[in-house]
């Protein structure tokens, strides 16, 4: 049986973040999730209660160090320790360098990259004191560069680099740091829905998807993250796991032809 962990999930109250929160709780872990949308926080609490899961959901801005500290303090006060951190909070407006203004660029980097830095910085002392733990950062194939995603790509590329640096820096503290990438296209998430005006029917069409014959979903992500925070993954650090469609999202897989 998997040992129960105390896990903080940043951006864990909506979309695939909520799926990961609930999936980790279903695996027996005690989860503290936080996000910036009050309605999503309330819905996460309600769904967890309906399913009898150990989840606390809080309001909090990942780009604000004081709000991150409040989540960490709540977690240690309630559970006495922190075993793992999942960094999922992100926004993903589209645009090239020419049509992304400075304010938007700063906001994307503040949430996607600085947020990962702030949460990791706040949680790491607790992991080190406990003799080890796990950080899982949610990446994106755009971190290797994709069209019309200049600022988002830059922020996610930074997440890959930051993850690798932390894996080196805290190796001897037995803190493992890995990155999980939802691959193959078509995944329904808060970011993808924002890009299509909230119309989920516009997602997934023509995408390679996964070898399962469908796009990746939040449960696929939750299963992978649950493994990485578990003792079964205690020797794995500094790696990138693409869930769905080969390294760097896609490889030579082409779009499925209409029959």
Residues with a catalytic annotation lie at 152
Contact criterion met (CB below 8 Å) for 19 and 42: no
Contacts 24+ apart (CB under 8 A), 204-212: 206/255, 206/256, 207/255, 208/184, 208/245, 208/250, 208/253, 208/254, 208/255, 208/256, 209/184, 209/185, 209/244, 209/245, 209/256, 210/183, 210/184, 210/243, 210/244, 210/245, 211/244
Work out the number of other CB atoms within 10 angstroms of the CB of residue 96. 11
State CA 183 to chain mean position distance: 13
Query: How far apart are alpha carbons 180 and 132 in whole angstroms?
Result: 20
Cα–Cα distances (Å) from 66 to 61, 109, 185, in that order, read 9, 18, 35
Contact criterion met (CB below 8 Å) for 130 and 173: no
């Amino acid at each position: 049986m998997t040992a129960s962990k105390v896990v903080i999930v940043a951006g864990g109250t909506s979309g695939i973040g909520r799926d990961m929160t609930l999936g980790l709780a279903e695996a027996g872990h005690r989860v503290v999730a936080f996000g910036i949308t009050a309605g999503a926080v309330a819905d996460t609490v309600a769904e967890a209660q309906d399913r009898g899961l150990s989840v606390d959901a809080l309001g909090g801005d990942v780009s604000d160090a004081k709000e991150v500290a409040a989540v960490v303090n709540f977690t240690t006060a309630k559970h006495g320790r922190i075993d793992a951190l999942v960094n999922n909070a992100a926004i993903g407006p589209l645009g090239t360098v020419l049509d992304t203004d400075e304010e938007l660029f700063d906001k994307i980097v503040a949430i996607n990259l600085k947020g990962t830095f702030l949460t990791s910085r706040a949680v790491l002392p607790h992991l080190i004191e406990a003799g080890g733990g796990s950080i899982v950062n949610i990446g994106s194939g755009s971190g290797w560069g994709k069209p019309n995603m200049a600022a988002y790509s830059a922020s996610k590329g930074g997440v890959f680099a930051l993850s690798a640096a932390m894996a080196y820096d805290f190796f001897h503290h037995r803190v493992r740091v890995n990155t999980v990438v939802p691959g193959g296209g078509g995944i329904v998430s808060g970011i993808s829905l924002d890009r299509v005006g909230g119309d989920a029917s516009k997602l997934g069409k023509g995408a390679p998807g996964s070898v399962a014959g469908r796009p990746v979903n939040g449960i696929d992500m939750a299963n992978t993250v649950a493994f990485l925070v578990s003792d079964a993954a205690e020797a794995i650090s500094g790696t990138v796991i693409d869930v769905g469609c080969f390294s760097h999202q896609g490889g030579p897989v082409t779009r499925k032809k209409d029959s």
